[in-house]
Structure 1
Amino acid sequence: MLEHLELFFKSIFIDNMVFAVFLGMCSYLAVSKKVSTAVGLGAAVIFVLAVTVPLNWLLDQYLLRDGALVWLGPEYADYNLSFLSFILFIATIATMVQLVEIVVEKFSPSLYNSLGIFLPLIAVNCAILGGSLFMQAREIPSLGLAFNYGVSSGIGWFLAILAIAAIREKIRYSNVPAPLRGLGITFIITGLMGIGFQSFGGMLTGDNEPPEPTENNAAELTPEKELEKEMEEDEKTVSYNEVVNK
């Protein structure tokens, strides 16, 4: 349970797709002028990542990695189909994006029209493919953790585009210098938001936990041991001074 929570919060705040690795920036900048469209695209990204990352995990575990085909028989243990990773991952993503496009067009034509070309372009959104590739590179051990990683990565991207969309709606009424209006001020705000998200970096690393005392360390920390050690050092210093004076 702790492992799931740690992966969830790290993927949202520390390893955020936008602010940590700068993936999906094209859609992030182009569809963040209105909160309504940002919410629709963010929800679509969460759904696509939540489905494609576990599916691609199954493909990687039982088809692509070295020795993954051993379940077909011992004669297939030496096969390595990892060179097909990009093709199969993209095929899975394109299928899910097509499903999302059909559903959005059916139930929310206004959102479908507002998203325009950027809805089918989710298929080539580097954040979507990056989720599957990071899952593969980090060797996530279970299907549940892969689903967790897909959902949390999508939530992180959703929060990023929602936050910048809300800010961009507000700064329309602000006195922004003319050379920075538009993408200029958006890049500056994105950088500041990235710094803010990276400040969560020390939350879940576990480096702040004190080391567990061993028997030897515990013995060394007692007052008696410290006093004996100081006396030994004083005796050595006195002996050294006597030798030097002679």
Structure 2
Amino acid sequence: MVFAVFLGMCSYLAVSKKVSTAVGLGAAVIFVLAITVPLNWLLDQYLLQPGALVWLGPEYADYDLSFLSFIMFIATIATMVQLVEIIVEKFSPSLYNSLGIFLPLIAVNCAILGGSLFMQAREIETLGLALNYGISSGIGWFLAILAIAAIREKIRYSSVPPALRGLGITFIITGLMGIGFLSFGGMLTGGDEEGEPSTEPEAKIEKVEKKEVKEELAKNTKTIQ
């Protein structure tokens, strides 16, 4: 979510000064994504998609409520974030105070909404895959904020130029990490290499055919002479 599509950058940059705070927020993001993505998948499959209301009766088969996707998804996310806020305040007041305003701001975190929208765009077929996608996306965001928090704690003891201290060097490090992540992603696709083996035999066949045509032309020319 962070290094591939750069979603959730506001809380990623603001709450990554300490590892302990980053771990708490990352765990909250995993929980919210693990709950909201499957719930939104159910809403999408049985309420929002064109023809999803057919389970109510044949007369509802033509209904299309996809225009309500954003409203329904955000409502589900806001409900789950309120639940997380209540749980964290109850069991860990220190973490609740350290996260501050950024805990309720998970409700408007674009990474959370992006998880549900990507689930919808990729047309995930089963509830299990939706749950897996939500948990995996949360873990990815958790690892990203944990990595930058650990780096920022070490940078405090480094001689960073004054103009780059704070968010400046953080943006540079995030950009370098994103470049590395996307580089590995490009290496794993291998889409351009699939067509190469099939073109070589065709080229060889064309060369052989041209050679045979030239030999036949030479023979015919000698016969005419």
TM-score range, shorter chain: 0.7 to 0.9
1:106 aligns with 2:90: yes
The alignment-based identity, stated in percent, is 82
Work out which of the residue numbers 50, 58, 69 in structure 2 matches 1:74. Answer: 58
Distance 1:38 1:229, change over 3 A: same
- The match for 1:173 is 157
CA apart distance, 1:105: 1.1
- Cα deviation, residue 102, structure 1: 1.2
Aligned to 2:121: 137
Task: Indicate whether 1:235 and 2:219 are aligned.
Answer: no
Which letter maps to 1:205? T
Specify whether residues 40 and 231 from structure 1 end up closer, same or farther in structure 2 by C-alpha distance, changes over 3 A only: same
Q: Work out which of the residue numbers 199, 204, 208 in structure 1 matches 2:183.
A: 199
Q: CA deviation at 1:203?
A: 5.1
Change (3 A) 1:238 1:201: farther
- Root-mean-square deviation (Å): 2.8
State how many pairs are aligned: 220
Cα 1:238/1:94, change in 2 over 3 Å: same
Residue 83 (str. 1) matches residue 63 (str. 2): no
SS at 1:176 equivalent: coil
Does the C-alpha gap of structure 1 residues 209 and 145 become closer, same or farther in structure 2, counting only changes over 3 Å? farther
Provide the rounded CA distance (Å) in 1 between the counterparts of 2:27 and 2:177: 21
Please give the secondary structure, in 2, of the residue aligned with 1:173.
coil
CA drift at 1:208: 7.3
Deviations 1:168-227 (A, max 9, x none): 00000000001000010000000000011112214553637867x99xx9xx69x9x899
| CA–CA separation in structure 2 for the residues paired with 1:134 and 1:210 | 27
Distance 1:144 1:209 in 2: 32
- Name the structure 2 match of 1:65: 49
Normalising by structure 1, we get a TM-score of 0.81
Unmatched tracts of structure 2, length 5 or more: none
3-state SS, counterpart of residue 141 of structure 1: coil
Distance 1:171 1:235, change over 3 A: same
Change (3 A) 1:87 1:18: same
**Aligned partner letter, 2:215:** E
How far off its partner does 1:137 sit?
A: 1.3
- How far the C-alpha of 1:156 sits from its partner, in A, is 0.9
Asked if 1:155 corresponds to 2:139, the answer is yes
CA distance in structure 1 between the partners assigned to 2:216 and 2:182 by the alignment: 50
| Aligned counterpart in structure 1 of residue 104 of structure 2, from 110, 120, 138 | 120
**Candidates 171, 174, 184, aligned match of 1:187:** 171
> 1:138 Cα deviation (Å)?
1.4
Q: What residue number does 1:4 align with?
A: none
Distance 2:94 2:183 in 1: 38
- Partners of 1:187 and 1:42 lie apart in 2 by 19
Structure 2 CA distance for partners of 1:177 and 1:75, relative to 1, 3 Å: same
Hey, what does 1:43 align to over in structure 2? 27
1:239 shift after superposition: 6.7
Distance of 2:189 and 2:172 partners within structure 1:
28
TM-score scaled by structure 2? 0.88
Task: Sort the Cα spacing of 1:77 and 1:20 in 2 relative to 1 into closer, same or farther, 3 A.
Answer: same
* CA-CA distance at 1:20 after TM superposition: 1.5
Distance 2:5 2:13 in 1: 15
